[in-house]
Homo-oligomer: A and B are copies of this chain.
Amino acid sequence: VTGATQEVRYLLVGVGNVGRRFLELTVLKAETLRRLGLVLVPVGVADSSGIALSSEGLDPRRIVALKAAGQGVADYPGWGQRGVGPLQMVRSSVTPLPAGAPTGAGPGLLIDASPANMVDGQPGLGCIEAALQAGLHVVTANKAPLVLAFPRLQALARERGVRLGFDATVAGGLPAVNLGQRDLAAAGITRLEGVLNLTTNYILTRMADDGLTYDQALAEAQAAGHAETDPRLDVEGWDAANKLVILAHSVLGQPATLADVEVEGILGVTPEMLRQAAAQDRRIKLLAVAEQRSSGWHLSVAPLALDAGHPLAGLGGKQMGIVYHTDINGALSATIVEDTPLPTAAAVLRDVVDILGG
C-alpha cells in the first residue's frame, strides 16, 4: 500500500438484488476502498428502465434511492435515458476518445449484475464481450455468459490483457474460484464436491429438520426471498449444474457445457427418504460433484445422502459449501452462511479489489 489511490470509472449492468447492494457497498466501504487504493465511480448504469450515463460520474446513493422508490435509472435527474439498452451504453462509453481528450477518461471496468439468461446470455454476454474487446476489466455476478461462452471470454480477456473476475457466480460470497485457482494453483485437484444452490439446500434442510413438505418449504423459501417465483432452475438442479460448469472451466481446466453434466434435481426427494437418511445419521444434500474417471472429469448434480462426518453434511439452510480433494494439499473445505444477497455483492467487490486494488 503506497498511499496512492486510483479512480476507477465503471459501468454497471443490472441494479437488482446484487447490483443495488454493490452500489450500497461502494458507499459503505468508501474509506476501506480508499485505503486499498481505489475510488470507484459509476459513469454508466443500466437497468430495465434504461440507462443513466455521465462522464462526470453518477451518485450511487441517488441510484439506490431511485430503486427504493420503485423508479429506475432512466429517472436519474439530468443523465437518465429511456429506451437505451445496456449494450448500447457499453458501446457508446468505450467509443475511442477524440484526439486530445484527457487519458483515463473512459471507463476501465464493467460490472455485470444482470439476470442470468440461460437461452442466449443476453444482455450480459454482449456487454461483457464489448467491454473486454475495448480493454475493460470485467467482473460478473451473472452465470449465463460464462456457462455459454467461457473459453471465448477467457481467450478474449487474455488477448486484450485484461481480467475477467467471476467468483460471485459460483456460491455467493464463498471464494470457491479463488480457492481453486489460487490457493490450489500448484496442487492437483482429484475431486470436487459442492453444495452450490441455496434454494434447494434451504428446502431440503427445512424438510429434514422441521418436517415440512416440499410445497411448504418451497413456499417458505419464496416468501423469505430465497427462491424465485419460478423455482425450476433451482429445484431441477440446473443452477447448481451451471456453477459446476463454471468451476470445471476455471478451476479444473475442463471445457464443459451443461450437456456434459448429469443432472437430477430434488423433486424426487421425499420426506420418507429424508427420515430414513436421518435414522442412519446421514443428510441428503443436492451435491455437485466433479470426479476424475479414466475418461476424464465426470460432472454430476444429484441428491446424495452424506455421512454425518462429511464436511458438507452439517450445512444449515442458509449455507453453501465446497470441498476440494487434492494430491498435496489435503482436503480443503469452505462454507459460508448467507442470509441475504449481500455476500454476493461483497464477492463482486472482492473481485474488483483483487483486479484493481493497490
Contacts and interface: CB of A to CB of B under 8 A. Distances in A.
A25 B186 CA distance: 10
A183 B175 CA distance: 7
Nearest to A29: B186
B332 A185 contact: no
Interface stretch (A8-16, A78-86, A105-113, A323-331): A323-331
Contacts of A357: 185
A336 B183 CA distance: 13
A211 to B, nearest CB: 18
A337 interface: yes
- With most chain B CB atoms within 10 A of its CB, the pick from A29, A309, A334, A357 is A334
Interface residues of A, number: 48
Contacts of A284: none
Contacts of A314: 308-309, 311, 313-314
- With most chain B CB atoms within 10 A of its CB, the pick from A32, A311, A330 is A330
A332 B336 contact: yes
A187 interface: yes
Contacts of A173: 329-330, 332
A353 interface: yes
B330 A342 contact: yes
A311 B316 CA distance: 10
Contact of A353 (B172, B175, B185, B353): B185
Interface in A160-199: 172-175, 178-179, 182-188
A354 interface: yes
Given A308-B314, A314-B308, A316-B309, A346 B333 contact: no
Contacts of A208: none
A262 interface: no
Interface in A186-242: 186-188
A322 to B, nearest CB: 10
Contacts of A343: 328-330
Given A309-B316, A330-B173, A33 B186 contact: yes
Interface string A252-279: 0000000000000000000000000000
A71 B110 CA distance: 58
4 residue pairs, one from A and one from B, having the closest CB atoms: A330-B343, A331-B337, A328-B346, A175-B183
22 contacts: A25-B328, A28-B328, A29-B186, A36-B185, A36-B186, A173-B329, A173-B332, A174-B332, A178-B182, A178-B183, A185-B350, A186-B350, A187-B346, A309-B316, A311-B314, A314-B314, A328-B349, A330-B336, A330-B338, A331-B337, A333-B335, A334-B334
Interface of A: 25, 28-29, 32-33, 36, 172-175, 178-179, 182-188, 308-309, 311, 313-314, 316, 326, 328-339, 342-343, 345-347, 349-350, 353-354, 357
Given A185-B350, A331-B336, A333-B335, 16 more contacts: A29-B186, A172-B330, A175-B179, A179-B334, A182-B354, A184-B350, A186-B350, A311-B335, A328-B349, A329-B336, A329-B346, A330-B339, A330-B342, A330-B343, A333-B336, A334-B335
